Amino acid sequence: MQTIKASLYFPIDMTDKPFITDLVRDYGLTVNVLQAEILPGRPGKSVIDLTGSEEDLEKGLIYLSEHGISVHMFTTSIIHNADNCVDCGACVAVCTSGALQIKAPDWKLSFDPKECVRCKQCVKACPTRAINVNVFQ
C-alpha cells in the first residue's frame, strides 16, 4: 500500500458526481479529503490523500483523467526546522489545514506533516525561515 497526495481540479459538470465514492467502491482506494471547495455552478478543487496498491492508484488516476478531472501530484514536502523556530505562530495564522499549531502547556509549535496540504503559505509567513520546501522525485 502507498499513499499519494494530489490536488484535483474538476469541471462544473463534475461537481455533482460521486467521484470519491467511485474511487472507493470501484478501485478499492482509501480517500482522505484534506481540503475541498465545491460549489454548484463553479469548477471544483480539492486536496486529497489516496491510499491503495500501485495498480489501483493508477487505475483510479486514469478514471479521474477520463472524466475531465485534472490531477496534480505533490512532489514537495514542508520541512519544519525546530532549531530555527521561535514559536511566533506566524505560520499558524496562514495554515488552513491545521498542520501547524501552537499547543499548550509549553506553547511550542507543533507540525503534523500528514495534515499538511503543501500550499506553502507557511514558508512565506515564517520570519526566521524555519519552514522550508523539500523537493523530491
pLDDT digits (tens, 9 = 90+) for 8-64: 998 988 878 888 999 999 999 999 998 899 888 899 999 998 999 999 999 999 999
Binned at pLDDT 50, 70 and 90, residue 137 comes out as very low
In angstroms, rounded to a whole number, what is the distance separating the alpha carbons of residues 118 and 80?
12
Pick the CATH number of 2-73 from 3.30.70.260, 3.20.20.210, 3.40.50.300, 3.90.220.20: 3.30.70.260
Say which residues have a Cβ less than 8 Å from residue 106's Cβ, sequence separation at least 6: none
Predicted confidence (pLDDT) at residue 117 exceeds the cutoff of 60 = yes
**What does the pLDDT look like over 94-115, one tens digit per residue?**
998 899 999 889 999 999 988 8
**What does the pLDDT look like over 59-96, one tens digit per residue?**
999 999 999 999 988 877 899 999 999 999 999 999 98
Q: Please report the pLDDT score of residue 136 as a whole number.
A: 55
Pick the CATH number of 81-131 from 3.30.70.20, 1.20.1250.20, 3.30.1490.20, 3.40.50.300: 3.30.70.20
Give the global pTM: 0.64
Cell match 479529503: residue?
Answer: 33
Please give the torsion angle defined by the CA atoms of residues 21, 51, 77 and 74, in that order, rounded to the nearest 10 degrees.
-50
Which of 97, 20, 119 has the alpha carbon at shortest distance from 63? 20
In angstroms, rounded to a whole number, what is the distance separating the alpha carbons of residues 60 and 79?
29
Cell match 501530484: residue?
Answer: 73
Residues of the chain within CATH 3.30.70.20 domain(s) are: 81-131
Residues of the chain within CATH 3.30.70.260 domain(s) are: 2-73
